Structure 1
Amino acid sequence: MSAHKKQGSSLNEKPGISQPEITSGTSIEQIQRFRRIQPSAQELVSGILSGNITALSRAITLIESTNPDHLAKANEIINSCLPHANQSVRIGITGVPGVGKSTFIEAFGKQLTGLGKKLAVLAVDPSSSFSHGSILGDKTRMEELVKDKNAFIRPSASGDTLGGVARKTRETIILCEAAGFDTILIETVGVGQSETAVHSMVDFFLLLKIAGAGDELQGIKRGIMEMADAIVINKADGDNIKKARLAKTEFNRALHLFPAKKSGWQPTVATCSAITHEGIPEVWQTILDYFEMAKTSLYFQEKRKEQNQFWMMETINEQLKNNFYNHPEIIAELDKNKKAVQNDEISPFAAASILLNLYKKGS
């Protein structure tokens, strides 16, 4: 190949290409300066109450921040939004990895927005225990729902919080409700202790299953099934329809062995296909039936009150923990005590007692 042809190849960079004239350095600088501007708490609150998604997103970022300087501002926003919250229904969705949670949520979400609902999806992505990074790919997997003007999808990294859900998710719910979203879906990381946290902040708990998965989760299946208000067997399409129907019968039998729920609701089992949308409208009807029963019996209101009390105690515990580890004297002494414990120079319990007494004296 000649040198001339190589030079004209699309695989080679052409020399002498300068910045196009339409690119304005001033405009770039203005955009960068705008992004650096931190709006006040009241400006963000005003934006949230008017349904501004940018303001909502920035406020959620403040809530998720580990920067102590952001805590006071986040609390001010939450307190201002609280009187405008509690007007939504909150639905938790869980299931093992591979059960099709994201695909189900997209199909279910499109069903809800088609009915005129304003939907917020809070999807928690697992963080690496090594790099602490997270892919945050839920928006990619929900490519139709993400374009829906009546839907807001917020992927968040689980971080080092057990199961990826705790105070930050709870407070994000409040902001979404204040922004006018009347239906909140919370997708959990997977099956485990995170389900307990989700269950304590939602009105309805939906467990997704697939047929033919075996009993790998036998050890924790009972606890999760006891929390579930409905079990939906996903991927009931194609050659899997028969297996899904058999699984439905088995789960129905299992549910009748569990103690009656405090709400008086009898959990249901259904099949659906997030691909063909078969069974998706019936899932929403089941949820509506539950809310009608729970609100008539006043269980809905009572559960919300119990959850508020629970999260007050959880917030106290978390704040005490944060205060302890951010205390200057604890920061100075913690590593020394860790090394002493590792070298068997002191017991873990004695080291903990020393640090706690040091914290008490300095508080």
Structure 2
Amino acid sequence: MSQKKIHPSALKENDGIEQPEIISAQVVATIQQFRRKQPTAQELIDGILKGDKTALSRSITLIESTNPEHLDKANEVINACLPFANKSIRIGITGVPGVGKSTFIEAFGSYLTSIGKKVAVLAVDPSSSISHGSILGDKTRMEELVKDPNAYIRPSASGDSLGGVARKTRESIILCEACGFDTIIIETVGVGQSETAVHSMVDFFLLLKIAGAGDELQGIKRGIMEMADAIVINKADGDNIAKAKLAKTEFNRALHLFPAKTSGWIPKVTTCSAFEKQGIDSIWEIISGYFQLVQSNGYFEQKRREQNQYWMLETINESLKVNFYHHPEIEKLLEENKKAVQNNEISPFAAAQLLLKQYFK
């Protein structure tokens, strides 16, 4: 019987000429040394006040850190930047996934920089519920705006704690304002309660819609409509132009069903095509009209003061929650009580009271 011939694997690496070293050891050492050297709080503050985007990014990374050691340094940077903040207008933009938020923000942001504005985009990105990693797709989608020297885009993972992300976004606004950005755009995830959180930190709230997708009825929901200062029907191009005009009429009718805003502003409805960059200038005219009104009647300052008070209370709530769950004794007791609750040995309410009583001892 003939012996079967064994063929060598195509994946086998044959001996050959040794490849040259493509990475210089000196370059590696320089990079490692650079990474080890962390800038001081004062260096970050000086960089931000000079308009340095790298210092701004590093500072935002610092305030997003969950490392307790970074908290004091982050607070030092924020407190030093506070006197240079509050000199911008803050615009919140929301809409369901697929409405074209990123395309709209790129077109809108590019228009603003073309008229001399400095624009910072803070985008809260969805996180994977499985891996907890962020998609962080905004920088990929906003190809032109990310290269604009007068624009800054910062995506942040939404994670599991909406309150925590909202607080960090609020602090990021302060840093961006101190860095010289006069127009701050906050993009929401577009799902659930994130709109409420963003509404509490912006001056103007813009709701993006699309026509012909069953979205008109969703838009008439009381909560989101009451928050909106303007409704923009996007993708009003091609075959969608007629549908967009019809949707505009329907939304205008719906707005009349709601009570007048305390700001005295009457919400406007308009259409645009972010893809074709049509109607963007008229949206800025609406926003400018709003700011002229609220700055003249005192509502702008009143709302900012109310927001500051709200965020003080929210920060207390968030800090108490974080402190509670990181308390050494509570961590141990929590695991014991979780098992006891699962085994029906104690009610969830009694277990919660027991833990709280221990915490406030």
The superposition leaves residues 203-253 of structure 1 with CA deviations (integer Å, 9 ceiling, x where unpaired) of: 000000000121597498221011000000000000100000000000000
CA distance in 2, matches of 1:335, 1:163: 24
Correspondences of 1:173-192 after superposition (within 5 Å) = 173-192=173-192
CA distance in 2, matches of 1:128, 1:14: 44
1:326 to 2:332 alignment: no
The superposition leaves residues 68-119 of structure 1 with CA deviations (integer Å, 9 ceiling, x where unpaired) of: 1111111111111101100000000000000000000000000000011110
Deviates more, 1:127-136 or 1:193-202: 127-136
Work out whether residues 136 and 156 of structure 1, in 8 Å CA contact, stay in contact via their aligned partners in 2: yes
Matched residue SS, 1:152: strand
CA distance in 1, matches of 2:335, 2:249: 56
Correspondences of 1:149-298 after superposition (within 5 Å) = 149-162=149-162, 165-215=165-215, 218=218, 221-298=221-298
Deviates more, 1:160-169 or 1:329-338: 160-169
Matched residue SS, 2:360: helix
Q: Indicate how the Cα distance of structure 1 residues 274 and 216 shifts in structure 2: closer, same or farther if over 3 A, else same.
A: closer
Residue in structure 2 matched with residue 4 of structure 1 by the alignment: none
Residue in structure 1 matched with residue 9 of structure 2 by the alignment: none
Q: Indicate how the Cα distance of structure 1 residues 320 and 193 shifts in structure 2: closer, same or farther if over 3 A, else same.
A: same
Q: Name the aligned partner's letter for residue 153 of structure 1.
A: I
Residue in structure 1 matched with residue 346 of structure 2 by the alignment: 346
1:123 to 2:120 alignment: no
Q: Name the aligned partner's letter for residue 16 of structure 1.
A: I
> Alpha-carbon deviation of 1:122?
0.4
Large movers: runs of 4+ above 2 Å: 12-21, 162-165, 215-221
CA distance in 2, matches of 1:187, 1:13: 53
Residue in structure 1 matched with residue 8 of structure 2 by the alignment: none
> Alpha-carbon deviation of 1:36?
2.1
Work out whether residues 125 and 136 of structure 2, in 8 Å CA contact, stay in contact via their aligned partners in 1: yes
CA distance in 1, matches of 2:68, 2:20: 41
CA distance in 1, matches of 2:155, 2:217: 26
Work out whether residues 124 and 158 of structure 2, in 8 Å CA contact, stay in contact via their aligned partners in 1: yes
The superposition leaves residues 160-182 of structure 1 with CA deviations (integer Å, 9 ceiling, x where unpaired) of: 12388410000000000000000
Residue in structure 2 matched with residue 19 of structure 1 by the alignment: 20
Residue in structure 1 matched with residue 3 of structure 2 by the alignment: none
Q: Name the aligned partner's letter for residue 140 of structure 1.
A: T
Matched residue SS, 1:153: strand
The superposition leaves residues 148-196 of structure 1 with CA deviations (integer Å, 9 ceiling, x where unpaired) of: 0000000110011238841000000000000000000000001421111
Q: Name the aligned partner's letter for residue 293 of structure 2.
A: M
Correspondences of 1:47-62 after superposition (within 5 Å) = 47-62=47-62
CA distance in 2, matches of 1:106, 1:72: 35
The superposition leaves residues 123-145 of structure 1 with CA deviations (integer Å, 9 ceiling, x where unpaired) of: 11111122111110100000000
* Identical aligned residues as a percent: 75
Residue in structure 1 matched with residue 106 of structure 2 by the alignment: 106
Q: Indicate how the Cα distance of structure 1 residues 245 and 108 shifts in structure 2: closer, same or farther if over 3 A, else same.
A: same
Q: Indicate how the Cα distance of structure 1 residues 15 and 311 shifts in structure 2: closer, same or farther if over 3 A, else same.
A: farther
How does the TM-score come out when normalised to structure 1? 0.93
CA RMSD between the two structures: 1.8
CA distance in 2, matches of 1:169, 1:114: 26
Structure 2 regions of 5+ residues with no counterpart?
Answer: 1-12
CA distance in 2, matches of 1:290, 1:304: 15
CA distance in 2, matches of 1:123, 1:46: 25
Matched residue SS, 2:263: coil
Matched residue SS, 2:232: strand
Work out whether residues 90 and 203 of structure 2, in 8 Å CA contact, stay in contact via their aligned partners in 1: yes
Q: Indicate how the Cα distance of structure 1 residues 18 and 280 shifts in structure 2: closer, same or farther if over 3 A, else same.
A: same
Residue in structure 2 matched with residue 313 of structure 1 by the alignment: 313
Matched residue SS, 1:57: helix
Structure 1 regions of 5+ residues with no counterpart?
Answer: 1-11
Work out whether residues 164 and 189 of structure 1, in 8 Å CA contact, stay in contact via their aligned partners in 2: no
Aligned residues: 350
Deviates more, 1:234-243 or 1:218-227: 218-227
CA distance in 2, matches of 1:221, 1:34: 52
Residue in structure 2 matched with residue 9 of structure 1 by the alignment: none
The superposition leaves residues 5-41 of structure 1 with CA deviations (integer Å, 9 ceiling, x where unpaired) of: xxxxxxx9994352357x4211221112101211111
CA distance in 2, matches of 1:290, 1:211: 25
